[in-house]
Amino acid sequence: MVLSVRRSVVIWYTVWMVALILIVLAVVLSGGGYIADREAERMLIGRVQEAAGEIELDDGELEIDDDIEFRGDGAYIAIFASDGSRIAGYLPDDAPSPQFADGVLSELSGWHVYDEMRPLGRAGCVWVRGVARNYDEDAFISYANLLILIVLPLMAGLSAVGGYFIVRRSFRPLDRMIETAEDIAGGEDLSKRIGLGEGDSEMHKAAAAFDMMLDRIEGSFEKEKQFTSDASHELRTPISVILAECEYAAGHTGEKEEMDEAIAVVSRQAHRMSALVSELLYIARADRKSIRMERGDVDAVELASAVADTMEAKAADRDITLSVESSGPVVAYADHDMLMRVLINLISNAVSYGRDGGHVWVRLRSEGGSAVIEVADDGIGIAEEDLGRIWDRFYQADPARSGERGAGLGLPIVREIVSLHGGVAEAESRAGHGSVFRVIFPRKNEGNA
C-alpha cells in the first residue's frame, strides 16, 4: 500500500520524535547516575570545608559558629576532637566510622565519607567529618522506567497530533492547487486561480508560480481561439468569392467576357488566400520557434533602397513620394530575407495608410552598433485607443480608411522577426498626423547570434 505524502510525513515525524526521546532517556540513564554521584561528592566536600572554616580557638576556648548546618541536602556533618570524641554535629547510626584521613574522600558501605582536619595550634586539632549516601542507581532506574512508561506514549501521541496539524496546515495550499486543477479539468474554466496572496513559504511560491502558469495558459488559449476565429473569417471571404465566381462562370460558359472576368476574380482571391496562408504558416513557425535564421552583416541602406524601388509603382498610384534617408552606412546583423520582409511590410503599410500626395520616409542610422530603421508617413495615423493593439494578429483599426483590406498580419510578423533577432519594435502615432514605426536590430553580441 502506498501512503500519501501527508501520512508519510506525519509517521516519520512521530517516529523521529519518539527516537529522539528514547535517545535522550538513554543518555540520562547511562550518565545520570555518574553525574549525580559526582555532584553529591562535590557538595559533601564543600559542606565539610565550609564547616571547618567556621571553627576557631578563642582564648583557649573552642568556638563553633552557630551557622554551621550539620544536616541537610542528604549530607551529615560532625566535629570530632583529636581523640575521636564527638564535639558537635550528627552522623546516622548506620554511617561507617573509619579512621580519620585528612582530605580523603572514600566510599564505604553505600556512603561517601570525607574528613577535613582543622589545626588549632598548641591546642592540637579537630576533625570535621561529612557523610552522604551513595547514589541509588536501582531507585533511579525504577523512576526512569516509570517516566518512560508515562512520558513516552504521551509524547508520541502529542507528536503525532502536532505533526498532523502542522502537515495539514502546510499542505493546505497544495489542496487548493489540486482543487483548482480539478475544477479547471472538469469545467474547462481557465479563469480560476489559487490566489493564496503574499507569502514567503515554498507553498506560497509554488501557488504563485501555478497562477502565473495558468495566466499564460489562459492567454495562449484565448489567443489560439481568437487566431482560429480570425483565420477562419479571413479565409471564408475569398473562398465564398471563389465559389460564387465559379458558379457564375458555370452559368456563362459561352460568354468569353464574363468568363474572363470570373477567372480574374478567382485569380485575385486565390492570390490573396495564398498570401494569407503563407503569413499564417510563418506565424505558426514563429510560435514553434522553428524558423531557421542565417544571420550576418546586411547593408540595411542598400536593402531598404531596393525594397523602396519595388514599392515605387504602388506609391505612384497615390502620388506618394517615397524616399530613403541615411547619414552613412548602416549594417544590421540579421537574416537578409527576414530583414527584407520587415522592410516590405512596414513600407507597404505606410503607403497603404499614407495620404494621397503625401510622403513616406525610410530613415536608417546606427546607434551604439545597433541598426535603427524608421518608416514614417504623413497619412491618416492611428487613434490612441488603437495604438496598443496594432501588434495583435488580425487586428485592423479601420481597413476602410486605407482603401485596401489586408489580413492584419503584417505588423505581427514584423514584431515576431524583430523579437527573434533580440530587437525591439515600436510605434508612435496620432490620428490625422501620420505614424512612425521603428525597429532596432541589436549588434552581434546583444542579439541571438
Domains and CATH numbers, the chain: 5-139 (3.30.450), 202-287 (1.10.287.130), 295-441 (3.30.565.10)
Count of residues for the chain? 449
Burial 62-98 (b: 16+ CB within 10 A, else e): bebeeebebeeeebbbbbbeeeeeeebbebeeebeee
Pairing type for strands 111-119 and 105-108 reads antiparallel
Rounded distance between C-alpha atoms, residue 396 and residue 6, angstroms = 54
Interstrand relation of 55-58 and 61-64 (parallel, antiparallel or unpaired): antiparallel
Is 99's pLDDT higher than 50?
Answer: yes
First to last CA, the chain: 54
Give the C-alpha separation, 306 to 27, whole Å.
90
The Cα 384–Cα 398 span in angstroms is 13
Structure confidence at residue 402 (pLDDT): 44
The mean of the pLDDT values for the chain is 78
Of 170-179, 188-197, 338-347, which range is least confident?
A: 188-197
The candidate with the shortest Cα–Cα distance to 174, out of 213, 216, 205, 200, is: 205
Alpha helices in 390-431 (DSSP H): 399-402, 410-420
- Contacts of 220-225 with CB under 8 Å at 24 or more apart are 221/190, 223/393
Residue 174 C-alpha cell reads as 497544495
Mean pLDDT of 343-361: 89
Tally: H helices and E strands in the chain: 10, 15
DSSP 203-231: HHHHHHHHHHHHHHHHHHHHHHHHHHHHH
75-81 vs 86-89, strand pairing mode: antiparallel
360 has which bridge partners?
A: 322, 377
Among 56-70, 135-149, 332-346, top mean pLDDT goes to 332-346
pLDDT for 126 beyond 80: yes
Q: Is the pTM of this model over 0.75?
A: no
HSE of 213, CA atoms in CB hemisphere, 13 A: 10
Confidence grade of residue 381 (pLDDT, cut at 50, 70, 90): confident
Best CA proximity match to 336, nearest among 410, 421, 277, 279:
421
Reported as a pLDDT band with limits 50, 70 and 90, residue 214 is confident
pLDDT (tens digit per residue) in 383-414: 777 776 776 766 565 544 444 445 567 788 88
Mean pLDDT value across residues 85-90 = 88
Give tens-digit pLDDT for 290-333: 567 788 899 999 999 999 999 898 889 899 999 999 988 999 99
* pLDDT exceeds 70 at position 204: yes
